[in-house]
Structure 1
Amino acid sequence: MSVAPKASKPTWPTPPEGGWTADDLDRLPNLPPHTELIDGSLVFASPQTLFHSRAVSFFEWQLQSAAPEQVQVVRELTIGIDRQNRPEPDVVVVRSDVVENAKQTRFPADAVVLAVEAVSDESVSRDRETKPLKYVRAKIPHYWRVENGNDRVVVHVFELESTTGTHTGTGIFRERMKTHVPFTMDLDLSGIKPRRCR
Structure 2
Amino acid sequence: MKTKITLVLTAVSLAVLFSGCGKVPQSELEAANAAIEQAKAIGADVYVPADFVALQDSMRAVTEHVEVKKGKLFASYGTEKNQLVEITGMAAATQEKAESRKQEVKLEIETVQAEVASILAQNAELLAQAPKGKEGVAAQEAIRSENSLIETSVAEVETLVASNDLLTALDKAKAAREKSLAINTELNEVIAKYSLASKR
TM-score tier, shorter chain, comes to under 0.3
Larger helix proportion of the pair: 2
Quick one: higher RCO (CA 8 Å, sep 6+), 1 or 2? 2
TM-score, reference length from structure 2: 0.24
Larger strand proportion of the pair: 1
User: Between Structure 1 and Structure 2, whose CA radius of gyration is higher?
Assistant: 2
